[in-house]
Homo-oligomer: A and B are copies of this chain.
Amino acid sequence: MKSQKNTHVTLQQVAEHAGVSRATASLVVRGSQNISETTREKVFNSMHELGYVYDRVAANLRSKSSTTVGLIIMELANPFYSELLIGIHQTLDQFGQTVILGTTFDSCTIQDRLLSTMLEHRVGGVILSAVPGTSGEAVERVRRWGIPIVLVNRILPGTQCDFVGIDNVAGGQLAVEYLIRQGHRRIAFLGGLAKLSSWQGRKQGYDNALRQAGLEIDHSLIIESPATRDCGIELIQRLLSIPNPPTAVFCYNDIMAIGAMMKMKEMGLTPGKDIAIVGFDDIPEAAIFTPKLTTVSSAIRLMGSHAAALLHARMENPDNEPQNIVLQPELIVRDSCSHSLSAMVPPLDKNLI
């Protein structure tokens, strides 16, 4: 009657209206089996008539459950993370969980604050792409509360934890082997911070490929930097002005590769023709740039999807063994490294192949 301004209808009121007890109404809302068809209908009718809205927050409090998951990433502006969010959000949605988002900008302080906030919000679990240098204590604090945590993309040494990531070694190797097959001998590894586990992996793959081809590692061709576009722009310039510049560049990630290619074009160079470029991640931008970027796919959405599934499994079964999911990368060949350079480089020693 007086439902002009829907003053909050409670389950209590629904029960009274339907002529049943609160407990019964509660069972109906939660879809219990042991309720007669007629009772169920009576309750549903009352719900609709009164405009009832289930209060998940109250329910969660009482039953000590949770329908939210905390996601902590570096920043949204990086397409890698928005893709990751897409994957995570999509599969969490299927489990009826909603995500609470936090961005660290790679600051440990912010990450600590976010972790606290998530605990205060009683999240059912946390998906964390950890700031490099995160202490094991930080994740322990969360788990001591009985809140499961899965690490994504970035490994945390010394922590027994569910993890999902890409095989960076294989990825790096894939990229550099390809460049070698294209005839390149001087191949740079550009950008990324050496403290990141993903950098170490990719670098390892780079080393492996070079070594297997009998090529020497020239440390002047390996330059560290934050993995930003601007650094890509800056580093390629530096790299091309050294006495004996590389003919190919394996970039730490696509963002850097795109920065590098932009600068090259500005310098009058044609990426893929004058210098070969390979990226890592396969962000959407890689396919729209000219030339289209040859890159190693990180299967980002899939990674997100796995992270969500892993967390869900862990929430159901807290005491299982920690799982490690390592996705296999794939080389996506596009236009940023053609054969045209092979003429200028000497063939490999026969005995090495």
Contacts and interface: CB of A to CB of B under 8 A. Distances in A.
Size category, A interface: 35 or more
Given A258-B288, A289-B288, A53 B119 contact: yes
Contacts of A117: 98
Interface stretch (A34-42, A82-90, A212-220): A82-90
A61 B57 contact: yes
Contacts of A146: 5-6
A144 interface: yes
Interface string A39-64: 00000000000010111111011000
B57 A121 contact: yes
Chain A binding site: helix, strand, loop or mixed by DSSP? Answer: mixed
Contacts of A289: 288-290
Contacts of A99: 100-101
Interface string A116-146: 1101111000000000000000000000111
B55 A122 contact: yes
Contacts of A144: 5-6, 51
Contacts of A234: none
A108 interface: no
A144 B289 CA distance: 48
Nearest to A255: B288
Contacts of A8: 145
A61 B55 CA distance: 10
A175 interface: no
6 contacts: A5-B144, A6-B146, A56-B120, A77-B284, A89-B101, A288-B289
